Homo-oligomer: A and B are copies of this chain.
Amino acid sequence: MNNVPAWTANLRKVTPYVPGEQPQEGDKIKLNTNENPYPPSPKVFDAHRKLDVSAFSLYPELSAASLVKRLAAYHDISEREVFAGVGSDDVLSMSFLTFFNSQKPILFPDITYSFYPVWAQAYQIPYECKPLRGDFTVDVDDYKGENGGVVIANPNAPTSIGMAATEIEEIIKANRDVVVIIDEAYVDFGGETVLPLIHKYDNLLVVRTFSKSRSLAGMRIGYAMGDERLIQALNDVKESVNSYTMNTASISLGAASLEDETYFQQNVGKIVNTRECVGGELVKLGFEVKESQTNFLFVSHKEISAKHIFERLKEKHIYVRYFDKERIRNYLRITVGTEEQMGVFLEAVREIVLV
């Protein structure tokens, strides 16, 4: 690699997103990427078995039509108000590309999903980060000035903190001239959705994922809901990038997952219960624990550094998420696993903090 080829001058300048580690050892406990510890619904297993592999020789349905139809029915909205993609990352990325073509900066919090600044840079979108308050809550007034668009994760990550729908509505109302994206990746675990507002505000796009509450991170399924003109614009841009993004298997398994509301509620219920128990235990062990509306906990120990706990846990093959980043350097983000996994985790934490 001595010489630098001339074509490097034409490369897009990016700072890639860094996802959580994907350790390969077998006996690990993985609490670092907010995956669901439970398998998908038995109806997903059935759908997998019933897939016609010989039909994989044909292109998938255009616009993932059957999944979109099922999502529309599930949320009781029109098919023209739903857009499906390869995880909420694909849906959000496509939304940035579609809606944020202003010279004015888009706005989002300084501590939030770290893909937002990455997409902004990749698509050369000016952006401005609005600092969360000291307690990591969003100050609604920060989002009332002129801007090129707004994106808010609600509940927020990695803080786990949710906002009231009324607060989000204030932001939407203050920004009728731009698109406001509400990233509800974690909303099923106790957040307040603004989905009903899509019929009131044509500038609101609500984004969801099957990766968390539906145990389907491996199949990459996400979607957006909003005014049909927003969805049409998204589809036009998507059709300018790749005609077929979701594959036949993900379309089918995603639709099957929506057929099993009982399993979905039980799955979410278990995680919420475990979250509350583990949160309580961590408080007893000297942690400050943010009130979570997600499938993870955002915690800071009063005496022992987050980095130390992170590294000691890793030695014990327990992976949590540590962000070496201003303001949150002394926090850990801990995905809620099964009761059993969290028992092992708590035991390990006790060994680390009670020495």
Q: Are B97's CB and A12's CB within 8 A?
A: yes
Q: Check if A58 is an interface residue, CB within 8 A of chain B.
A: yes
**Alpha-carbon distance A244/B222, docked complex (angstroms):** 12
A233 contact set on B, CB distance < 8 A: 8, 11-12
A148 contact set on B, CB distance < 8 A: 10
Q: Check if A89 is an interface residue, CB within 8 A of chain B.
A: yes
Q: Are B12's CB and A37's CB within 8 A?
A: no
Report the interface size class on chain A: 35 or more
Copies of the chain in the assembly: 2
**Alpha-carbon distance A233/B97, docked complex (angstroms):** 20
Q: Check if A239 is an interface residue, CB within 8 A of chain B.
A: yes
A203 contact set on B, CB distance < 8 A: 5, 7
Q: Check if A259 is an interface residue, CB within 8 A of chain B.
A: no
Q: Are A54's CB and B39's CB within 8 A?
A: yes
Interface centre among A100, A122, A176 (most CB of B within 10 A): A122
A235 contact set on B, CB distance < 8 A: 16
**Alpha-carbon distance A202/B22, docked complex (angstroms):** 31
**In the complex, what's the smallest C-beta–C-beta distance from A47 to chain B, in angstroms?**
9
Select from chain B the residue with minimum beta-carbon distance to A217: B59
A122 contact set on B, CB distance < 8 A: 97, 237, 240-241
* CB contact under 8 A between A5 and B202, given known A33-B59, A219-B247: yes
A57 contact from B19, B56, B217, B229, Cβ within 8 A: B217
Q: Are A37's CB and B57's CB within 8 A?
A: yes
Chain A interface main SS type: loop
**Alpha-carbon distance A314/B229, docked complex (angstroms):** 32
**Alpha-carbon distance A244/B90, docked complex (angstroms):** 9
**In the complex, what's the smallest C-beta–C-beta distance from A120 to chain B, in angstroms?**
10
Q: Mark A175-201, 1 if CB is under 8 A from B, else 0.
A: 011110000000000000000000000
Q: Are A10's CB and B99's CB within 8 A?
A: yes
Q: Are B119's CB and A240's CB within 8 A?
A: yes
Q: Are B48's CB and A218's CB within 8 A?
A: no
**Alpha-carbon distance A171/B22, docked complex (angstroms):** 41
Q: Are A239's CB and B35's CB within 8 A?
A: no
**In the complex, what's the smallest C-beta–C-beta distance from A80 to chain B, in angstroms?**
11
**Alpha-carbon distance A100/B18, docked complex (angstroms):** 24
**Alpha-carbon distance A48/B49, docked complex (angstroms):** 9
* CB contact under 8 A between A217 and B11, given known A5-B202, A243-B19, A243-B89: no
A275 contact set on B, CB distance < 8 A: none
A7 contact from B12, B57, B90, B99, Cβ within 8 A: B99
Q: Check if A102 is an interface residue, CB within 8 A of chain B.
A: yes
**In the complex, what's the smallest C-beta–C-beta distance from A327 to chain B, in angstroms?**
23
Segment at the interface with B among A153-161, A248-256, A305-313, A343-351: A248-256
Select from chain B the residue with minimum beta-carbon distance to A267: B57
A330 contact set on B, CB distance < 8 A: none
Q: Mark A47-63, 1 if CB is under 8 A from B, else 0.
A: 01001011111111110
Other than the given A19-B239, A87-B244, 6 more pairs (CB < 8 A) read A8-B233, A11-B233, A14-B236, A57-B215, A57-B216, A118-B240
Point out residues on A near B: beta carbons under 8 Å: 1, 5-12, 14-19, 22, 30, 33, 35-40, 44-45, 48, 51, 53-62, 86-87, 89-90, 93, 97-102, 118-119, 121-122, 148-149, 176-179, 202-203, 211, 215-220, 227, 229, 233, 235-237, 239-250, 253
